[in-house]
Amino acid sequence: MIVVKVRDGETLDEALRRFKRFCEREGLLKEIKRRREYKPPSVIKKEKKQEIKRKERKRLARAKKMGRLRKRRMKLK
């Protein structure tokens, strides 16, 4: 359980901001969203592969835009 005590001379808004920062640093919101529904392992693997493909396409597009595309070919499934 997260406890954020309001310090002397600290406004409630500042304490709330500290609480939000703490939650973000600990990754609590990501964890809650991840656990919201069950995903079978096959779906998780599929999503990881899609994410890898997306990142590679993005990297290639950025390299092409900058004019420094390497002569390396990667197979995208």
- pLDDT tens sequence across 32-66: 888 898 999 999 999 999 999 999 999 988 888 87
Q: What percentage of the chain carries pLDDT values higher than 90?
A: 44
CA distances from 31 to 9, 25, 26, 53, 58 (A): 33, 12, 9, 24, 26
- In this prediction, residue 55 carries a pLDDT of 95
- Residue showing tokens 């096959």: 42
Q: Angle, nearest 10°, between helix axes 28-35 and 12-26?
A: 60
pTM for this predicted structure: 0.47
What pLDDT is attached to residue 4? 86
More confident residue, 21 or 77: 21
Give the contacts of 49 (CB within 8 A, at least 6 positions apart): 77
